[in-house]
Amino acid sequence: MDRQYEHIFTGDSDHHGFLSHHSDQRFDSLDQEGVEGRNRKDTRIPGHQGIRMVAMEPLLIGVDVGGTNIRMGVVTPDGHIPKKIEYPMDMSRGGLAMMEGLVSRLQDFIQQETGRDRSEIRIGIGIAGSIDMKRGLLVTSPNLPDLHGFPLQAYLQERISYPIIIENDANAFTLGEGWKGAAKGSRHYCGITLGTGVGGGIVVEGEILHGSEGMGGEVGHMVLNPKGPLCGCGGRGCLEVYASGSGIRRRALEANKKGKGKKILKKGRGDIKKVTSEEVFEAAKEGDRTALKIFNEMGRYLGLGLVNLIHLFNPEKIVIGGKVSKAWDYFIGSTTEVVHQRTMKGQREKVQIVQTECGDDAGILGAAYVALKLE
C-alpha cells in the first residue's frame, strides 16, 4: 500500500403498453435536451446537435470496473468504440494492488491504441460503489472493501497525466444507454443493472441524480421486506437480495436443501457450491421447474422495485441491463405483471420497460460520456 494513502482509510405483456425490447423512435433524437443537453461548449459533434465540445475533438477512454472483469475502450466523440479490451479483475492482493494494475493496463492501452501522445485525451472510469463526486472519494464499494474512503480521483490523477473523472458504474451504464442506447433522447429515465448486485441510475430533466453527497440512486437497497434476507449493506430485504445474481444463487441453494432443482445441480457438475445464476439460467432454458420458479419470483420482486421507481420519478423508460438481464424472457413476464397491477393509472400506461441496447458496452460508453463533459 502506498504510505501516503494509509492515513486516509476509515477502515409477454406488450399489450399493457409499457414493455418493449427496443427503444421507441419517439426518443431517437439527441437534440431534445436529453443527457447531452447540459454540456455547454463551443462547437458540436457533426450529426448530433445535442453535444457541444471544444473545437479539437478529444480522444475518450471509457473504463468499466465491474465485479469480476474490467473493460476499457477507445470511444469516439460520437459514441463509437473502435477498440476495447477486457480482463479479469484480480483481487488476490487487495484493492490497492488491483488499482495499481489498472493504472498499468490503462497506461499501456493509451499508448498502444492511440499510437501517439494526444493532448486531448480524457478518461472516464465507472466503478461499483458510492462516489463522493465533489471530493473524488470512493466512499464505499462492495468489491473493494479495503478502499472505503479512498481518494481515488487523486490517486489516479497523480499516476496518469490526462484528465480523469470517476463515476458510479450503474450511473455510467445509465448514461451510456441515454447517449447511444435504449434511452436515447429521453430526459426522464432509470437504468437498472442486474449483476452480482443490483445497481441503479436515475436521470431527471436530463441530469443524472447524484444526491447531496453523490450517493443517490442506490436502487438495489430500497427495502422490500424489513424481515427479509440479510443484504451485504447490513440491512434486510433489499431489492438486491432478491433480484441479483447472488440472490438467485441463494434461492438455488435453498431449493437444493429441499431436494429440488436437479438440473441446476447437474449444471454445477454435481457440486452445489459451483452453482451461480448462470447455471440457474441454463437449467431454466431446459425447463427445470425450480429454475423457472426462481426467475418468476425474482421478476416479481424486481417488479415491486420498479413500481417504487415509477411512483417516485415518473420515468419515460426503465432500461435493464447486467448479466442477469440475459435471462430476460424468464423474469420479465412476472415483472411487468406486477408493474401493471400495482402502478397508479396514468403512469403505468406511459412507462416502457426495455432491455439494454448497448449490452456490455454501456459502462464504457457512459464513462466516456462523463469524460466528454469535462470542462
Radius of gyration of the chain, Cα coordinates, nearest whole angstrom: 21
**Span 305-334, average pLDDT:** 98
157 and 58 inside one domain = yes
* Helix H or strand E segment including 190: strand 189-194
Examine residue 16 and state whether it is found in any structural domain, yes or no. Answer: no
Residues 208 and 350 in one domain: yes
- Answer yes or no: is 29 within a domain: no
Structural domain includes residue 4: no
Are residues 175 and 46 both part of a single domain? yes
* DSSP designation for 62: E
pLDDT of 195 higher than 80: yes
Cα 368 from Cα 30, distance rounded (Å): 17
pLDDT at position 119, please?
Answer: 64
pLDDT at 37 over 50: no
- 79 and 202 housed in the same domain: no
- Confidence class of residue 116 from pLDDT cuts 50, 70 and 90? low
Q: Are residues 260 and 302 in the same domain?
A: yes
Tell me 374's DSSP state. Answer: -
Confidence of residue 2 (pLDDT cuts 50, 70, 90): very low
Q: How many domains does the chain have?
A: 2
Alpha helix locations (H) across 74-186? 95-114, 152-159, 169-180
Residues 367 and 345 in one domain: no
Phi, psi of 185 (to 5 degrees): 90, -10
Q: What percent of the chain has pLDDT over 90?
A: 70
pLDDT band at 114 (very low <50, low <70, confident <90, very high): low
Q: Is 287 left (phi over 0), alpha (psi -120 to 50) or beta?
A: left
CATH of the domain at 255: 3.30.420.40
Q: Say if 131 falls within a structural domain.
A: yes
| Residue 11: exposure state from Cβ atoms within 10 A (0-12, 13-18, ≥19) | exposed
Q: Domain for residue 13, yes or no?
A: no
Q: In whole angstroms, give the CA distance from residue 30 to residue 77.
A: 14
- State residue 47's pLDDT score: 34
Burial of 374 (0-12, 13-18, 19+ CB in 10 A): middle
User: pLDDT of 132-148, one tens digit each?
Assistant: 888 899 998 888 889 99
Strand partners, 189: 203, 317
Residues 195, 327 within the same domain:
yes
| Closest to 65 in 3D by CA, of 155, 164, 166, 148 | 166
Does the residue 233 lie in any domain? yes
**Residue 23 domain flag:** no
Measured distance CA(39)–CA(50) in Å, rounded: 8
Same domain, 212 and 174: no
Residue that the C-alpha cell 490503462 belongs to: 106
| 193 and 324 within one domain | yes
Supply the range of the domain harboring residue 339.
189-356
Higher pLDDT, 11 or 107: 107
User: DSSP 3-state assignment of 204?
Assistant: strand
**Is residue 248 over pLDDT 60?**
yes
> In this predicted structure, what is the pLDDT of residue 214?
80
pTM of the model as a whole:
0.84
pLDDT in tens, 251-307: 999 999 999 999 999 999 889 889 999 999 999 999 999 999 999 999 999 999 999
- Whether residue 201 sits in one domain with residue 171: no
Asked whether residue 89 falls in the same domain as residue 228, the answer is: no
Mean pLDDT across the chain, nearest whole number?
A: 86
Most confident of 52-61, 111-120, 277-286: 277-286
C-alpha distance from residue 349 to each of 278, 338, 352 (Å): 33, 13, 8
DSSP string, 312-369: HH--SEEEEESGGGGGHHHHHHHHHHHHHHHSPTTTTTT-EEEE-SSGGGHHHHHHHH
C-alpha cell at 170: 450503474
Write out the three cell numbers for 3: 504510505
Residue 256 falls within a domain, yes or no? yes
Q: Is 134 exposed, middle or buried (0-12, 13-18, 19+ CB in 10 A)?
A: exposed
If asked whether residues 112 and 50 sit together in one domain, one would say yes
Residue 375 pLDDT: 67
